[in-house]
Chain A
Amino acid sequence: MSKLYISTQNCGKAHEADIFGLCISNPYTVTVSGDGSLKLWKNKLIDGEQPKDHVISCFVHKTGLHHVDAFHSVEQGGLELFLVACVSFSGQIFIYEVDMASGTLKELDLLSHDEKLRSYWCIKFLKSDDFSVAHKMVATDVKGSTVVWALDIFKPEEQTQESGNLDLKKEKNIRLSQIGEIPATEPKFATSVDVSVKGIIATGFQDGSVVVSQLETLRPIYNFEGFGIKGTEESSGTVRDVKFSPLGELLAVANDSGSYGCVTLYETEYGERVGNLTVPTHSSQTSIANFTHNGWVFNASFSSTGEFLATCGYDGKIRVWDVKRRERVSTLNISAGDIEIESEIVSQDEFGNSLKTPPVMGVTFINKGVRGGIGGDTNEGLACVCLDRSVRWFREAGGV
């Protein structure tokens, strides 16, 4: 069964330089760019409202930003907390707290002096639904280590709780305390990381391998090698993204296969390879290579139910896959000309190279009820960022 997605909103020239990172949370779609700024795009837009008129922008670092993750949660006592963490090309982590009422960003200084000296690359939050278990933040560094922190929101409770009053307002005090790190066996670049609700961390490396470790013990349990074309140094299998399914049962690994991009699914309990997501080749001859995209796959995102996986790549396409059947159910072809406002179309870069089919740098599923507008509550959607400096939002067709 195929799915159809229709464009709901888009925004050209969203940043002044390439947009490298995207994540979505309930209130905002968050993007980071090589121009060094972090932008929060309001999700609940009424028809007729332009994304650019409802964006919170914050300049973070002059070397540019590439990875971002957001943390949105309602804590005990009804405290709503929204944090955004991003990493600059100089390797620093920046964490901001967003004041939901005023829409202002406040930089938090949560890392210790020694932690600040390292060069980080990728960052992820893990929200814990259990009040007694701390939230987590995970980051990889350029030497291949994966560092894990506990994210505490409140001041530690004092033991003398004579009143036993549970409504007692706790004092907010956001802290990060390092739990430990998973060191790399040899120095290799850790390109991507994800952490599952089942307490498993996956770290993807430049050389094509993926190490799966336990969050509790920080010990590696599985090691996956890439399935790209092997043999020459040039056709590497760089892992570009790792993603756990919402329940943590599956792990999707996006890696290069020469100039193509592959996505492989692994089952996390026993570390078995489930299969690849491949485009069928309509050819009488046997295919020489199976690939997911005709270009590197930069990002993958599971739908909230885990039924579907969206992937995006250098070929300017977003593909949506039925995970169970491992079949493609939709392909979105992005074109620079899609942008509604004509003056914001970027069809070529400063050097005159064409961006007519811009590489898609990031994609994420949008849960029901996140975006405003028609169908936002009933249908899931997709958001993507492309090399033409645009952000695009889609929703699944039908049912409206």
Chain B
Amino acid sequence: MGGKMKIEPGLKPSLGDYLERSPTRATLEEALSPKTREIVLTKIQEPQNLKSEICTILSLMKNAIEQQSEPLVIFVGSRGKLVKPAMCFPYYGFEKMKGPPAFKTSVLLSLLKCVAMKMENEEICTIRDVFYLNVELYKNQQVVAEWLRAIADAFELPHFDALRIVAAQKGLCCTPVNLNFDVDKVILKNQKSLVPYLTAATEFSGDWSLVERVIVLEKDAIFSKLAENTQVSKRCMLVTGKGYPDWLTRYFLYKMMLNCPPSVIFEIYTDSDPYGIDIAVKYMHNELKATYQCPRLVYKGVLIQELIDNRSSTRGLQLLDLSFRDRTYAMNLLKRIAATTLRKQTKHALVQEVQRQLFYQKKAEMNTVNGANFAEYFLAKLNA
């Protein structure tokens, strides 16, 4: 508490004392404001010290409250680039609460504690696991994901998974050769398996001479069909992010790109709609982090032109009208692609596809190609 006043030793100042010394409301408020301790979560110079840094922060907070009885003001992110608004805990002041509610501080602290624990035990767990550790506090999984992202951003960590709490795996892969990685881990050949958790140091090794292509597919149904087709699966590595890809799948592709020899061709097949094109762009380019992109990917289809040319098939018409939402999405997507740095040829192909979809006012699903036989279409394209 404000200590500028002269008071009898051993006695605390009364409210009267304060009023006497503070002529205005502002000065009174200032005099009555407690001394606070500022805690700043900011860039960690050496990521390997993450654990000790977190422990220091937690113990600083503990000391402030336990021993000095000082409220905390927590800044997530350095000054000027705060990730979240500053939080006061416990709350002090006269007016009604201005800052974020106290439970947000609890969320932050409990997550920090959780991260420190995972580091201590050197284990990885999923966001879902953490959420179920304290459902009452977190309320929903989104909150956990959002705050972990905030912590990673505040510490300016190179990877989201440096906190050792990661999203559940979503992507699938299927490889024609056994792929060894880390120390004793392996992705078995000819088996659909989840994209494994990776670290910055992960390197894949295998008999690359048997891998002709890496094929990225939007849909896991198509992925499954191709994986079961030996003609395809014996020469191509298949990857799917099941719709919009998660970070891990993108990171996996990035790693593949680094590890595969230049002779391996990277291709992507998506639905012939604006979202399909957007998904392709998501794999190819990332504005913020270069480790989540794979510029080597070539967009191959499914092209709206191929579907129209194929329309005389007896299976009927496979084309759907663009909806209002599709159209607005496509128009914005075109603007976005035009502003993105991609290889010239790739950009041309993607822009042309969206333009044609818009001009024809049509879209189609990749499943319907070649009379709903994607494998046939795919092999024809490979051999062309």
Contacts and interface: CB of A to CB of B under 8 A. Distances in A.
Contacts of B317: 232, 234-235, 258-259
B306 A353 contact: yes
B318 interface: yes
A128 interface: no
A91 B331 contact: yes
**Which of A63, A90, A232, A353 has most chain B Cβ within 10 Å?**
A63
A264 interface: no
B12 interface: no
A89 interface: yes
A34 interface: yes
A378 B312 CA distance: 42
A189 B359 CA distance: 12
B351 interface: yes
Contacts of A34: 351-352, 355
Nearest to B337: A63
Interface of B: 300-301, 303, 305-306, 308-309, 311-312, 316-322, 324, 327-328, 331, 334-335, 338-339, 345, 348-349, 351-352, 354-356, 358-361, 384
A64 B334 contact: yes
Given A351-B301, A353-B305, A20 B359 contact: yes
A90 B334 contact: yes
Chain A's interface size range is: 35 or more
B356 A18 contact: yes
Contacts of A350: 345, 348-349
A142 interface: yes
29 contacts: A17-B348, A34-B351, A62-B338, A63-B331, A64-B351, A66-B359, A89-B354, A89-B358, A90-B335, A91-B331, A142-B327, A142-B331, A191-B361, A206-B322, A206-B361, A232-B317, A233-B320, A233-B321, A234-B317, A238-B361, A259-B312, A259-B317, A349-B305, A350-B349, A351-B303, A351-B349, A352-B384, A353-B303, A353-B306
Sorted from nearest, which 10 A-B pairs have the closest CB atoms?
A62-B338, A63-B334, A234-B317, A259-B311, A34-B355, A89-B334, A64-B355, A236-B321, A90-B335, A63-B338
Given A238-B321, A349-B305, A119 B355 contact: no
A393 interface: no
B252 to A, nearest CB: 26
B84 to A, nearest CB: 33
Majority DSSP secondary structure for residues of B touching A? helix
A156 interface: no
Contact of B318 (A66, A90, A234): A234
A66 B355 contact: yes
Interface in A324-367: 349-353
Contacts of A235: 317
A296 B317 CA distance: 13
A48 interface: no
Interface of A: 16-18, 20, 34, 62-64, 66, 89-91, 119, 142-143, 187-189, 191, 206, 232-236, 238, 258-259, 296, 314, 349-353
Contacts of B321: 206, 233, 236, 238
B324 A189 contact: yes
B324 A187 contact: yes
Contacts of B305: 349, 351, 353
B316 A234 contact: yes
Given A64-B334, A90-B335, A189-B324, A351 B355 contact: no
Contacts of A187: 324
Given A258-B317, A353-B305, A353-B309, 18 more contacts: A16-B348, A18-B352, A18-B355, A64-B334, A64-B351, A89-B331, A89-B334, A142-B324, A142-B327, A188-B324, A189-B327, A206-B322, A234-B316, A234-B317, A234-B319, A235-B317, A259-B317, A351-B300
A349 B303 CA distance: 12
Given A18-B356, A238-B361, A63 B311 contact: no
A90 B309 contact: no
Q: Which of B308, B322, B334, B349 has the most CB of A within 10 A?
A: B334
A226 B133 CA distance: 59
Contacts of A349: 305
Contacts of A232: 317
Nearest to B355: A34
Contacts of A20: 355, 359
Nearest to B309: A353
Nearest to B360: A296
Contacts of B318: 234
Contacts of B320: 233-234
A215 to B, nearest CB: 26
B361 A189 contact: yes
Nearest to A235: B317
Nearest to A239: B361
A142 B327 CA distance: 8
Nearest to A91: B331
A17 B309 CA distance: 19
A63 B359 CA distance: 13
Which of B322, B355, B360, B384 is packed against the most chain A CB atoms within 10 Å? B355
Nearest to B321: A236
Contacts of A234: 316-320
A352 B338 CA distance: 24
A63 B352 CA distance: 10
